[in-house]
Amino acid sequence: LSPGAKMGCFTFIKVMMILFNLAIFLSGGTLLGVGIWVKVDGESFLNIFGALSSSILQVVNVAYLLIVIGAILLVIGFLGCYGAQKESKCLLMMFFSVVLIIFIAEVAAAVVALVFTGLAETLLTGLVTPLLKEKYGVDKAFTEIWNVTMTEVHCCGLNNYTDFNNSYFYETHSSYPRQCCDMQQYLPFWGMLCAGNWGITTSCHPHSRGCLLQGCFKQILEEIRTNAGVAGGVAAGIAALEIAAMAVSMYLYCRLDEK
Q: What would the pLDDT profile of 74-129 be if each residue is shown by its tens digit?
A: 999 999 999 999 989 999 999 999 999 999 998 888 887 777 766 766 777 787 88
* Report for 38-42, 43-47, 72-76, 206-210: range of highest mean pLDDT: 72-76
Backbone φ, ψ for residue 2 (5° rounding): -70, 160
d(CA 235, CA 215): 27
Average pLDDT taken over every residue of the chain: 77
pLDDT-above-90 percentage for the chain: 23
Which of 170, 149, 134 minimizes the C-alpha distance to 217?
Answer: 149
d(CA 179, CA 219): 14
d(CA 125, CA 110): 21
d(CA 245, CA 236): 14
The amino acid at residue 122 is T
Whether 224 shows a pLDDT value over 90: the answer reads no
Q: How confident is the model at residue 192 (pLDDT cuts 50, 70, 90)?
A: very low
What's the pLDDT tens digit per position in 242-259? 999 999 999 998 888 766
Give me the mean pLDDT over the 12-33 stretch: 92
Whether 171 shows a pLDDT value over 80: the answer reads yes
Whether 42 shows a pLDDT value over 90: the answer reads no
Burial of 232 (0-12, 13-18, 19+ CB in 10 A): exposed
Give the model's pLDDT for residue 74.
Answer: 94
Strand partners, 212: 181
d(CA 193, CA 173): 14
d(CA 179, CA 51): 19
Query: Which is higher by pLDDT, 238 or 218?
Result: 238
Which of 148, 203, 218 minimizes the C-alpha distance to 172?
Answer: 203
Tell me which architecture the domain covering 98-184+205-258 has in CATH.
Orthogonal Bundle (1.10)
Whole-structure pTM value? 0.61
